[in-house]
Amino acid sequence: MRAKSSTLVSVIPVAEKTGRCEIRPNSYVRKIESDAQGRTTGAVYFDANHREIFQRAKAVVLCANGAETARLLLLSKSKRFPDGLANSSGLVGKYLMWDNGGFASGSFEHPLNEYKSVQVTRVIHDYYRADPKRGFYGGGGIDARFDYYPASFALHGMPPDAPKWGAEYKKMLGTYFTHTMGLLAHTSSLAQMRNSISLDPDVKDSWGLPAIRVTFDYHPDDVATMQWMLTKQVEILEAAGAKKTWTTGISLPEMMPSRHLMGTCRMGDDPKQSVVDRHNRAHDVANLWIVDGSSFVTSARQQPTATIQALAYRAADFAGRNVRDAVKR
Ligand SMILES: Cc1cc2nc3c(=O)[nH]c(=O)nc-3n(C[C@H](O)[C@H](O)[C@H](O)COP(=O)(O)OP(=O)(O)OC[C@H]3O[C@@H](n4cnc5c(N)ncnc54)[C@H](O)[C@@H]3O)c2cc1C
């Protein structure tokens, strides 16, 4: 049970043991407050009983992931930060990137029973680097997996030419469910300023706060990368002996990229071109750290969490050594 690399079983118990860490579950932060000098002073949140509470803080570390982090900064406007906290560059929420990639399936002569047990797969990186000879910029990894349950496979996993209902459909569903494996690509998502998280002017969440608005379109090279990668995914399945292969479409919204949220508070040395510095500290706010996938400047072309964790350890190390200065500044 404790083998999972969740923070709930890895670092949080260690932090709690110090006696200097208190978890307040089911709390919802609506604003990070700042003073006239441009420092954060704490966070306003709704607790589990829907009471609004201001928690004073000497420093704030924001880790709400690539969508909610940007939203919270945009919600945290003040006189000093009229466009949102830490947003003098205007780049909070901009350059949203995902993990792109299509899915290829192959059915085999003998049962594979891929649905059984836990997923233990790893990503091959043979095509990770961009190669000018391909005629577009992009690359990525390929991950062998079978993410389907019977119902989701029935709806989305069957080959496109399978019947959609009736006795033949039922028979084929039984066979394909046990004989199919899939290859998922994780491909480049180019950093484009127009792709963004912003505050929706009309839609509100259940607290009456502006909901997230996502604006996204692929770069043509992202599409070319996914298409090229799908040919490789099919080649691998065929080389492994698949009797039949098929692929998902990759156009929006049929294949909405998802899961890995990156880029919305990009890292850099120039405060005009980025939101956080190389230690994940906000350029504009000396006692605010933003530590999640939002600081990425290029998409990971694979699962990003190990890199997020590495950056978090690095940022924590720096913050630990500099927090006293940051609080005074
Ligand atoms: C379906 C799925 C599959 C994935 N598979 C993989 C994988 O195989 N490998 C991999 O590396 N990564 C995977 N990821 C990505 C991985 O989950 C994230 O990269 C990782 O969780 C990021 O960690 P984080 O702490 O930055 O953000 P999160 O884990 O998202 O944590 C952010 C936290 O902030 C909280 N929060 C947000 N807004 C507020 C607010 N206003 N007030 C209070 N709390 C708030 C959220 O509730 C959440 O608990 C997957 C993600 C999904 C959704």
Q: pTM value?
A: 0.93
Look up residue 303 and give its DSSP letter.
Answer: -
Residue showing tokens 């156009």: 251
Test site for ligand 1: of 63, 206, 259, 265, most ligand atoms within 8 A of the Cβ: 259
C-alpha distance from residue 238 to each of 7, 110, 146, 167, 233 (Å): 39, 14, 17, 29, 9
Q: How far is the CA of 65 from the centre of ligand 1 (A)?
A: 6
Q: How far is the CA of 217 from the centre of ligand 1 (A)?
A: 22
58: which residues sit within 8 A by CB, 6+ positions away? 287, 323, 327
Q: How far is the CA of 55 from the centre of ligand 1 (A)?
A: 23
Task: Work out which ligand 1 atom sits closest to the CA atom of 291.
Answer: 26
Q: How far is the CA of 305 from the centre of ligand 1 (A)?
A: 9
Q: Map out the domains of the chain as residue ranges.
A: 7-96+260-328, 103-195+214-248
Residue 303 backbone class (left: φ over 0; alpha: ψ -120 to 50; beta: rest): beta
Look up residue 213 and give its DSSP letter.
Answer: E
Would you state the pLDDT for residue 121? 65
Give the class (CATH, top level) of 7-96+260-328: alpha beta
Residue nearest to atom 36 of ligand 1 (CA): 64
Q: What is the CA angle 198-200-202, rounded to 5? A: 165
Q: Are 266 and 295 in contact (CB under 8 A)?
A: yes
Task: Work out which ligand 1 atom sits closest to the CA atom of 64.
Answer: 34
Look up residue 132 and give its DSSP letter.
Answer: G
Ligand 1, CB within 6 Å, residue ranges: 27-29, 63-65, 68, 72, 259-260, 292-293, 303-305, 308
Tokens of 184: 């998922």
Test site for ligand 1: of 50, 75, 303, most ligand atoms within 8 A of the Cβ: 303
Task: Work out which ligand 1 atom sits closest to the CA atom of 261.
Answer: 19
Three-state DSSP state, 173: helix
CA–centroid distance for 218 within its chain: 16
Beta strands at 60-62 and 288-290: parallel, antiparallel or unpaired: parallel
Would you state the pLDDT for residue 147? 80
Please report how many Cα atoms fall inside a 13 Å half-sphere around the Cα of residue 107, on the Cβ side. Answer: 15
Q: Are 22 and 8 in contact (CB under 8 A)?
A: no
Residue nearest to atom 43 of ligand 1 (CA): 28
Question: In 94-205, where does DSSP find H-type helix?
Answer: 150-152, 166-179
Task: Work out which ligand 1 atom sits closest to the CA atom of 292.
Answer: 26
Three-state DSSP state, 103: strand
Q: What is the CA angle 128-133-136, rounded to 5? A: 70
C-alpha distance from residue 98 to each of 3, 134, 264 (Å): 28, 22, 11
Residue nearest to atom 48 of ligand 1 (CA): 64
Indicate the residue type of 81.
F
Residues with pLDDT less than 70, the chain = 1, 119-121, 253-257, 328-329
Task: Work out which ligand 1 atom sits closest to the CA atom of 29.
Answer: 42
Beta strands at 140-145 and 180-187: parallel, antiparallel or unpaired: antiparallel
Q: Are 43 and 32 in contact (CB under 8 A)?
A: yes
Task: Work out which ligand 1 atom sits closest to the CA atom of 312.
Answer: 26
Q: How far is the CA of 286 from the centre of ligand 1 (A)?
A: 25
